[in-house]
Structure 1
Amino acid sequence: MARPPLPLGTPGAITTKEESAGVWVARCRFRDHDGVTRRLWKQGPSKTAARGALHQTIQDRQRGSGGGSTLTPASRFKDAAELYLAKVDRKREDSTHALYAYHLGRTVLPALGALHLRECTVARLDAFLEALGPRYAPSTRRTLRSIVSGVLQVGVLHEALPTNPVRELDRIEQPRGQAKKKPRGLTIDERQALLDWFDQTSDDDRVRRLQRVARAAELPELVRFSLGTGLRIGEALAVRRLDVNLDGVPVRAQDGPMRVPVVTIAGNVTWVKGKGLVRHDGKSEAALRVIPLPQFTADLLRERLAQPGEDRWPLFPAAARDGRITYRWPSNVRRTLRSVREEVGLGWMTPHTWRRTYATILDDEMTLTDRMKADLMGQADFLKNTYVSRGELHAGAAVLIDAALAG
């Protein structure tokens, strides 16, 4: 029976022999990545030196084989992580690269970085992710799992791993007994209370000072714009004057042709370590979209665009230290909101609450399909469980039941 071939990129048994006085030779067979088995040998002044020289030759050959592959089963996880981050930097947005680099440096590499790729077993990875349970929410642990999977997939592509062990792990679920946080938007009464607080002037000096802070940050206009468009805070702050078309695009309606004012969403602003505030073109094709403007939002923008300004300026501009017009920081909007939301009894509200409110209003509209709603939200699918608020009191239900059952 023929002897089975060596696995690609691996040596056979190493033999050593003293060829002459003080000259030792170590030999082995080595199967290169082209499938050809070759004989390797190295000599040295001792048995140990000869074997060490041959081991170094084997390692160099493993690194240099396989079409430029730089990873082997003996490579460290941190080496694969470096290649993975370089790939993310080439193919993804700066914000994604910054997030992955942050999680790698803070959580993943301290635990896995020194492991050889061949040591990244299913059991070790499962223990690592399980240990994250008390520290991180399930959504963050899923992100960390995705990063680990991406790193090890680089090892698979370099033929340093036969398969990606992350694929064998169980899904990360919500812990038993721990209720998933329900999405919450603003009810009709909450929306009205918030907008009234912005528009009115309080007799209390402290409240009046907070109202001035909110108006200086253009929070009343930004809230109305966000409620009317459902934009993420970074998208809302990235909208430029030239992205707004108040003359409208022609559409065919039941009453005949009409023009609908729209805003084109063609970017996002986010903070990136080492670069500051960066405007990018969106993370996916779904993020690039055109949104019809309700009348109250169109009126707001018409008044704003009547003020002097260049087309390329942001719709909600900020002034840089040198006087240039630039984009507002999302973190500054969140900070201002935190300082005023308690006064309206909405201590839980964030800018994303306005997006959930928009999604909830869309979900209640039966004439729109989920595909239409996803397009408006800039998503691949309409994520009801993530965005649609539940739990409002639907008083009209009592009227319907009474009409159906009353004798």
Structure 2
Amino acid sequence: MARPPLPLGTPGAITAKEESPGVWVARCRFRDHDGVTRRLWKQGPSKTAARGALHHTIQDRQRGAGGGSSLTPASRFSDAAELYLAKIYRKREDSTYALYAYHLERTVLPALGALQLRECTVARLDAFLEALEPRYAPATRRTMRSIVSGVLQVGVLHEALPANPVRELDRIEQPKGQAKKKPRGLTVDERQALLGWFDGTSDDARVRRLQRVARAAELPELVRLCLGTGLRIGEALAVRRLDVNLDGVLVRGDHGPMRVPVVTIAGNVTWVKGKGLVRHDGKSEAALRVIPLPQFAADLLRERLIQPGDESWPLFPAAGRDGRITYRYPSNVRRTLRSVREEVSLGWMTPHTWRRTYATILDDELAMTDRMKADLMGQAQFLKDTYVSRGELHVGAAVLLDAALDA
């Protein structure tokens, strides 16, 4: 019976022989990843030295022949995580890389980093994710599960694991008895109170100071732009003067051709560790879009564009340390908002609240399909349960019922 072939990427038995005084030669057969079995040999001044040199040659050949693979079942989870982060850095946006690196460094690697890949069993991974439940919301735990899965998938691709054990884990769901946090936008009264506070005057010196802080940060204009366009705060701060077309695009309306002013959303600004403030093109194709401007938003931008400035400047500029015009930090906007929101009894409000308000207004318009709403929001599909606020008093229902049931 013919001798069975060696497994791919493995050596046969190593022999060592002294072929001349002080010269030892170690030999073995090695089956490369192209399926061809070749003879390897290395020499040294002693039997141990020759065998050690041959072992190094085998290891180098295993890495090179395996397409650069450096992982084995005995490799650490941290080794695979390093390769995974390198792949994320090449293929994903800086903000995604920063988020994944943060969760790996802070939570995942301290718990799993020292494990060998073959030790990353379903039971151990399940115990790790279960231990996160008291500390993190379900959405954050899903992100960490995705990161762990990505790391172990690198092990699968390097043939260090036969399959990805994360696929066998249960889904991460909302804890029983804990209601999912409902999206909340601004009601009509809340919107009027907020904008009225920005524009008003007060006899109270403290309130006047807060109003000056808000106006210096251009919060009144930012709030109105976000309410009228549904932009994420990073997208609003990334809009440049050249992205605004107030002459409008020609469309056919109910009463004939008309021009609609628009803004093109072609970027986002975010802070990345090690790089500072970065402007990128958005995480998906859906993020790149053109949004029609309501009249109040067009008037607001028209006033800003009257001011002198380069076309490449952001609409909401800030001065950099060198004095040059640059983008504002979203974190600075959030910090200013936190200092003033209590004044209008909106302590829960964040910049994303303005986006939810826009989504809620769109959702109440029955003439628009979910596909249209998703396009305007920059989403692959309209995330109604995530963005649309519920619980307002719809007084029109009483009028409808009176008309239908009054005998």
Which of 232-241 and 136-145 deviates more? 136-145
Q: CA deviation at 1:238?
A: 0.5
Question: Which amino acid in 2 is paired with 1:362?
Answer: L
Q: Report how far residue 252 of structure 1 moved.
A: 0.7
Deviating more after overlay: 150-159 vs 31-40? 31-40
Describe the SS at the equivalent of 2:257.
strand
Deviation at 1:72?
2.2
What is the one-letter code of the residue matched to 2:116? H
Counterpart CA distance in 2 for 1:18 and 1:240 is 74
Tell me how far 1:321 sits from its aligned partner: 3.0
Paired position in structure 2 for 1:143: 143
In the other structure, the counterpart of 2:63 is 63
Q: Deviations over 1:86-121 (max 9, x none)?
A: 111111111111111111111111122222222222
Structure-2 change in CA distance of 1:113 and 1:185 (3 Å)? same
More off after superposition, 317-326 vs 36-45:
36-45
Q: Are 2:281 and 1:281 aligned? A: yes
Q: Which amino acid aligns with 1:82?
A: E
Instruction: Compute the displacement of 1:152 (Å).
Output: 1.7
Match of 1:83 in 2: 83
- The one-letter amino acid of 1:285's match is E
The amino acid across from 1:379 in the alignment is Q
Aligned to 1:127: 127
Provide the C-alpha distance between the structure 2 equivalents of 1:303 and 1:195, rounded to a whole number of angstroms. 18
Aligned to 2:389: 389
Shift of 1:323: 2.2
Match of 1:306 in 2: 306
Task: State the shift of 1:64 in Å.
Answer: 3.1
Unmatched segments (≥5 aa) in structure 2: none
Whether the 8 Å contact between 1:63 and 1:72 is mirrored in structure 2 is no
The residue that corresponds to 1:158 in the other structure is 158
The 3 A distance-change label for structure 1 pair 385 and 154 is: same
Q: Is residue 2:39 matched to residue 1:35? A: no
- In structure 2, how many angstroms separate the alpha carbons of the residues matched to 1:322 and 1:59? 51
Question: Do the aligned residues in 1 keep the contact of 2:16 with 2:50 (CA within 8 Å)?
Answer: no
| In structure 2, distance between residues paired with 1:75 and 1:56 | 17
Q: Give a deviation string over 1:265-322, Cα, whole Å, max 9, x none.
A: 0111110111111111111111110000001111111111112222111101112233
CA distance in 2 between partners of 1:257 and 1:168 (Å): 57
Whichever residue aligns with residue 101 of structure 1, its letter is: A
Amino acid at match of 2:216: A
2:18–2:47 Cα contact (<8 Å) kept: no
Amino acid at match of 2:332: N
Q: Which residue does the alignment assign to 1:266?
A: 266
**Deviations 1:55-85 (Å, cap 9, x if unpaired)?**
6555444333212322222222222211211
The normalised TM-score by structure 2 is 0.91
State the distance in 1 between where 2:317 and 2:76 align: 47
CA RMSD of aligned residues (A): 2.7
Deviations 1:209-238 (A, max 9, x none): 111111111111110011000000000000
Amino acid in structure 2 at the alignment position of 1:130: E
C-alpha distance in 2 between matches for 1:64 and 1:15: 20
Q: Which amino acid is 1:320 matched to? A: G
Contact kept in structure 2, 1:235 and 1:267, CA below 8 Å: yes
Q: Which residue identity does 1:256 align to in structure 2?
A: G
Distance 2:346 2:38 in 1: 73
Is 1:199 equivalent to 2:194 in the alignment? no
Output the CA distance in 2 between the equivalents of 1:38 and 1:122. Answer: 38
Q: Helix, strand or coil for the counterpart of 2:323?
A: coil
Secondary structure of 2:246's aligned partner? strand
Contact 1:62 1:72 in 2 (8 A): no
Which amino acid in the other structure matches residue 385 of structure 1?
A: D
The answer on whether the counterparts of 2:15 and 2:28 sit within 8 Å (CA) in structure 1 is no
What is the correspondence of 1:89-100 to structure 2 with a 5 Å cutoff?
89-100=89-100
CA distance 1:307–1:395, change in 2 (3 Å):
same
Moved more, 248-257 or 304-313: 304-313
Name the TM-score, length of structure 1 as normaliser. Answer: 0.91
Q: Structure 1 residues 401, 121: CA separation in 2 closer, same or farther (over 3 Å shift)? A: same
Separation of aligned partners in 1, 2:56 and 2:184: 61
Q: Is the contact made by 2:267 and 2:280 (CA closer than 8 Å) also made in structure 1?
A: yes
SS at 1:105's partner residue?
helix
Counterpart CA distance in 1 for 2:3 and 2:129 is 42
| Deviation for aligned residue 1:47 | 9.7
1:9: Cα distance to partner?
Answer: 3.1
Amino acid at match of 2:119: E
Letter in 1 for 2:124: R
CA distance in 2, matches of 1:323, 1:55: 59
How many angstroms apart in 2 are the aligned matches of 1:323 and 1:43?
65
Whether contact under 8 Å (2:16, 2:51) holds in the other structure is no
Distance 2:28 2:131 in 1: 43
Q: Name the structure 1 match of 2:182.
A: 182
The one-letter code matched in structure 1 to 2:334 is R
> Structure 1 pair 165/48, CA: closer, same or farther in 2 (3 Å)?
farther
How far, CA to CA, are the matches of 1:32 and 1:364 in structure 2?
65
SS for the counterpart of 2:162 is: coil
Residue 361 of structure 1 is matched in structure 2 by 361
Q: Aligned equivalents of 1:50 and 1:125: distance in 2?
A: 42
Where does the alignment leave 5 or more consecutive residues of structure 1 unmatched? none
| Native 8 Å contact 2:23 2:46 kept in 1 | yes
The SS at the match of 2:215 is helix
**AA matched with 2:324:** R
Q: Is the 8 A contact 1:16 1:47 kept in 2?
A: no
State the one-letter code of the partner of 1:354: W
How far apart are the structure 2 equivalents of 1:146 and 1:59? Answer: 31
Task: Report what 1:350 is aligned to.
Answer: 350
Contact 1:34 1:66 in 2 (8 A): no
CA shift in 2, pair 1:46/1:111, >3 Å: farther
Kindly report which structure 2 residues correspond to 1:370-389, keeping only aligned pairs within 5 A, or say none: 370-389=370-389
CA distance in 1, matches of 2:398, 2:375: 34
Residue 42 to residue 74, structure 1, CA distance change in 2 (3 Å): farther
